[in-house]
Structures are given as structure tokens and as C-alpha cells.
């Protein structure tokens, strides 16, 4: 009997959260050990899954499927393919790093319990192949993130948490209507009521108008989660007010639920509608790239600058997704992971700066490189990764998106390329102001990076450098699933992508 590894990826952090919730609040060490063991076990399971995942497989592997509510066609259906594989691994590795390396300062028990519930929800979202099950996990994620921002954030945390909750709930309402309507309308083609993603995608035959309306319902929810311009306004507030651990997880994996959802549930379920909506989504993506970059350049708060950079970077992912070519979508999937690594590390280091100086105002930070050169070196490397320097991970995905999109979205790519230039502007200028020059009296006491912090950041740096130098292992696992998805799009619509291979 095979091990239900995907089910364990969801249940292990939930069990850890349950055990931790019954422990005494005063016993912080035991609670943290339970949380660490649970998150590390989940991370090891995700790495084992990665090792066992067959290279070249285009379908779903390690599938777990059990009937849940048979009368309604709802099942516990989990599966992983090349599109979701590295997002699951990123989730499995990021959570133990955050739990081990970041101190919430107060109410450790509640903080760690919510972190584990959040991990289970994210895992379930990336693994679900049942529409109803996906919606459950998609909503579960909202609750712990709301409390993490609201209880452990900064001065305006309640406002930011409430704004995050309202935006996401409003988007989810559209998706819930879309899910129920999709299942009931697909029943006439399938022959029975089913929420099974694969069954609906392969057997349903929606009319153009019906498919487009359903597609819009799903995309609104995912556009809020990305967030896609103009639904992005909750993100800078949420990032700025969230605790460091919340910001790392929000940037690392939560935002990817939006871009992943567009690909898995938007393009796969409604290929004809995806082709129809392509010009609008490409335009919004490019606006987000340019607007996010300009807004980042103007920020006075370092954390808010990084938050707006996410709006720009995620615009590139949406651009790659709806360019609808092998190279562009492969680059988009890869960039989901790369952005999670690079921006997660940036938020982690901004948190370290705040712990030392109790400010994130760029004008109050100066000359840090003179007193903390090792810390400055780490920041420089991660920043260059975010810019997209060749040889680091950010370049690979961004390059594939731009070169893959050029054949089908030429003028959008030309406009989006300005975002690459602006990214170099706002990040290099911020680095110059924060790290260069002579430190003033307040910054002369800035502490150098500790061994524990260096070990934590070394994991991010190793991933940044390895992926940038040798992306082939990722590409070999992502590309077959992307090709299969595009073959499905071509077979269910009039779309035909240009004959360009990702290896050329």
C-alpha cells in the first residue's frame, strides 16, 4: 500500500496545530518544538515527494482520492504535477524557516498554531483537484492570515487585516458562485453532479458565453489574491503592517495562490474564455508591472517599497500565463517560485533591519554597509536576484516570460520591459541610500548578522544561486505539464500557439 503523501502534507501541520493548541501557554519551548517538528516533517515530506516525482511526467502524481459527500460529487481529491510541484516544496521549506528563525515577541502559542493552520491551508490549495475542496482550503488560509496581521502586526495592523479580509472575502464570493454554477452546468455533459476538476475540464462543453461568465467569476477571486491591478490596494498595507513572518509567507506562497489559481482553474477549466480574455489580462498585467515599479520608486518605507515590487513582479507572472506559450507559462511557473524565494528573503532582511533600528524609513537608514558588511552582502545578492541579474534565479523566469511572450504579445512585452529597467532603479537606489555612505550616530551601532541569521539566509541564497546557474531540474519537471495544459487549450478552443520550443 502506497503512502498517501499528499494527504500527509495537509494533515501533519494540522495535527501539529491541534497538539500545540492543547499545550500550556506558558511552556513556549515545548510549543515551539511541536511546531518545528510538524513543519520540518512537512518539509521533509515535500522534499521526498520532489525526489520521487518522475521527470517528464505531464499528469498528476501521488493522487489521493476518497469520496467525501458522494451525493454532491464532492471528494477528497489531491494530486501534484509539474505546475504545482515546486510551489508545494517552497511551502514545505519556507514555513519551518519562518518558525525557526523569526520571533513573534508575544503570544507564541497562538502565533505558532495559526502558522501551522496556515501551512495546511496553503498545502491544500496547491494540491486540491476538487473544486469544493479547493474553495475550503482557499478560505481556510484567510483566517490565520487575518489573525497573524491583526495580532502580531504593527501600528495600523487592525486596519490592514480588515482590508485584507474584506478584499479576499469579496473575491471569494465570486469564486463560490462560479464553482457551484460550473458544477451544476457541467452535470449535463458529465451525466452526474461532480466537483472534480479533471472530470469537468475534460468532459464539459460550455458555450462561449457561459464559459466566459464562469471564467470571470474565478478570475476576479484570483486577481484579488495576486493581486492584479486595480485590485492591489490591500497588499501594500497588509505587507507593511504584517509581522515579519507574515510578510515572508504572504510574499512567498500566499500571493501565488492567485497566479496558480488562474492557471489551474482559469485556463484549464475555461480555455476558450482564457483566449478571449487574453488582451484584457495582458493589459492589466503590464499596467501592474509599470505602476508597481513607479510606486515602489516613490516609497519612503523600505518594507512598503518591497511590497510594491511584488505588484510588479506578479504582473510578469500574469503576463507569462496569458501569453499562452510553452516558454512563457513555464517561465511564469518558475517565477512564482523564484519570487517567493527572493522577495521572502527581502522581507526577512527588512525585518532584521527593523529589529535593530526600530524604523524602516529609508531616510533614517544610512551607511549600514560600513558597520555590517556581511549583512549588506546578503542584501545585495538577494536584491540583484529580485532585479533579475543573469546567474541568479530571478533572471531565468523573467527571461523565459519575456522571450516566450514576444511572439504572441509583442507590444505588451515591449511595455513590460520598462518594468525591468525600473526595478533596477528602485532597488539599486534604495540599496544606495540604506547601505552606502557614512553611518550617522544611530546607525553606527547597527549589529552585524548573527550566525543564526546567516544560516537562515544561506538557505535562500543557495536556492537563488543554484536555480540561477542550473535551472534544468526545475524546467524538466515543469515543462511537460505546461505542454499538456496548452494541448488542452488548443483542443478546446481555436487557439494555436507559435511553433517555438522552450529549449531553443
DSSP codes of every residue in 364-421: G---HHHH-HHHHHHHHHHHHHHHT-TTSHHHHHHHHHHHHHTTTSHHHHHHHHHHHH
Residue with cell 476558450: 272
**Mean predicted confidence (pLDDT) in 297-325:** 90
- Is the model's pLDDT at 67 over the cut of 90? no
Going by C-alpha positions, the residue among 336, 334, 263 that lies closest to residue 476 is 334
241, 156 Cβ separation under 8 angstroms: yes
User: Coil, helix or strand for 64?
Assistant: strand
Distance CA 59, CA 483 (A): 11
> Which of 7-11, 103-107, 144-148, 478-482 has the weakest average pLDDT?
103-107
- Chain centroid to CA 502: how far? 23
Residue with cell 495562490: 257
- Is the model's pLDDT at 504 over the cut of 80? no
Residue 2 has what pLDDT?
66
Distance CA 255, CA 312 (A): 13
What residues does 130 pair with on adjacent strands? 196
Distance CA 24, CA 322 (A): 50
- Is the model's pLDDT at 123 over the cut of 90? yes
- Is the model's pLDDT at 478 over the cut of 90? yes
**Mean predicted confidence (pLDDT) in 165-192:** 89
What contacts 457, CB < 8 A, 6 or more positions away? Answer: 345, 348, 349, 378, 382, 449
Domain extent listing, the chain: 270-495
Confidence of residue 1 (pLDDT cuts 50, 70, 90): very low
User: Coil, helix or strand for 172?
Assistant: helix
Residue 502 has what pLDDT?
43
Which regions of 319-398 does DSSP assign to beta strands (E)? none
Going by C-alpha positions, the residue among 276, 165, 299 that lies closest to residue 219 is 276
Confidence of residue 499 (pLDDT cuts 50, 70, 90): low
Mean pLDDT, the chain, whole residue set: 89
Grid coordinates standing for 476? Answer: 524538466
Residue 500 has what pLDDT?
53
What contacts 331, CB < 8 A, 6 or more positions away? Answer: 320, 396, 397, 398, 399, 400, 401, 402, 404
Distance CA 238, CA 165 (A): 10
Going by C-alpha positions, the residue among 196, 190, 198 that lies closest to residue 58 is 198
Residue 503 has what pLDDT?
45
Amino acid at each position: 500500500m502506497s503512502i498517501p503523501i499528499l494527504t500527509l502534507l495537509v494533515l501533519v501541520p494540522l495535527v501539529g496545530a491541534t497538539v500545540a493548541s492543547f499545550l500550556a501557554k506558558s511552556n513556549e519551548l515545548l510549543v515551539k518544538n511541536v511546531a518545528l517538528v510538524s513543519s520540518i516533517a512537512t518539509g521533509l515530506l515535500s522534499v521526498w515527494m520532489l525526489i520521487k516525482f518522475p521527470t517528464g511526467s505531464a499528469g498528476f502524481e501521488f493522487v489521493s482520492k476518497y469520496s467525501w459527500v458522494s451525493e454532491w460529487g464532492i471528494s477528497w481529491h489531491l494530486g501534484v504535477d509539474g505546475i504545482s510541484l515546486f510551489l508545494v516544496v517552497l511551502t514545505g521549506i519556507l514555513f519551518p524557516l519562518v518558525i525557526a528563525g523569526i520571533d513573534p515577541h508575544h503570544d507564541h502559542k497562538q502565533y505558532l498554531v495559526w502558522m501551522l493552520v496556515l501551512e495546511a491551508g496553503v498545502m491544500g490549495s496547491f494540491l486540491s483537484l476538487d473544486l469544493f475542496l479547493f474553495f475550503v482550503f482557499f478560505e481556510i488560509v484567510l483566517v490565520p492570515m487575518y489573525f497573524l496581521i491583526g495580532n502580531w502586526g504593527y501600528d495600523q495592523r487592525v486596519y490592514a487585516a480588515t482590508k485584507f479580509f474584506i478584499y479576499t472575502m469579496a473575491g471569494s464570493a465570486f469564486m463560490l458562485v462560479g464553482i457551484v454554477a460550473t458544477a451544476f452546468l457541467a452535470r449535463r455533459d458529465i451525466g452526474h453532479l461532480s466537483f472534480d476538476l479533471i472530470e469537468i475540464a475534460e468532459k464539459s462543453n460550455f458555450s462561449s458565453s457561459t464559459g466566459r461568465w464562469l471564467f470571470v467569476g474565478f478570475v476576479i477571486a484570483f486577481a484579488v489574491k495576486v493581486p492584479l491591478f486595480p485590485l492591489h490596494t490591500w497588499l501594500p498595507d497588509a505587507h507593511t503592517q504584517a509581522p515579519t513572518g507574515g510578510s515572508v509567507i504572504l510574499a512567498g506562497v500566499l500571493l501565488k495562490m492567485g497566479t496558480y489559481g488562474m492557471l489551474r482553474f482559469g485556463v484549464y477549466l475555461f480555455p476558450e474564455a482564457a483566449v478571449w480574455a487574453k488582451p484584457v489580462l495582458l493589459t492589466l498585467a503590464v499596467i501592474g508591472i509599470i505602476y508597481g515599479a513607479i510606486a515602489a520608486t516613490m516609497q519612503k518605507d523600505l518594507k512598503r517599497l518591497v511590497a510594491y515590487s511584488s505588484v510588479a513582479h506578479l504582473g510578469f507572472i500574469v503576463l507569462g500565463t496569458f501569453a499562452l506559450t510553452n516558454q512563457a507559462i513555464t517561465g511564469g511557473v518558475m517565477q512564482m517560485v523564484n519570487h517567493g524565494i527572493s522577495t521572502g528573503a527581502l522581507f526577512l532582511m527588512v525585518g532584521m533591519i527593523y529589529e535593530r533600528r526600530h524604523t524602516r524609513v529609508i531616510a533614517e537608514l544610512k551607511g549600514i554597509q560600513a558597520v555590517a558588511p556581511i549583512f549588506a552582502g546578503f542584501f545585495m545578492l538577494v536584491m540583484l536576484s529580485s532585479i533579475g541579474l543573469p546567474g541568479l534565479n530571478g533572471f531565468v523566469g523573467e527571461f523565459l516570460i519575456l522571450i516566450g511572450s514576444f511572439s504572441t504579445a509583442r507590444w505588451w512585452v515591449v511595455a513590460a520591459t520598462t518594468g525591468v529597467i525600473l526595478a533596477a532603479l528602485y532597488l539599486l537606489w534604495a540599496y544606495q541610500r540604506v547601505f552606502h555612505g557614512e553611518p550617522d550616530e544611530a546607525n553606527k551601532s547597527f549589529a552585524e548578522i548573527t550566525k543564526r541569521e546567516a544560516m537562515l539566509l544561506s538557505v535562500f541564497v543557495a536556492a537563488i544561486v543554484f536555480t540561477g546557474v542550473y535551472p534544468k531540474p526545475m524546467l524538466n519537471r515543469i515543462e511537460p505539464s505546461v505542454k499538456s495544459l496548452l494541448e488542452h487549450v488548443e483542443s478546446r478552443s481555436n487557439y494555436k500557439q507559435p511553433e517555438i520550443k522552450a529549449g531553443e
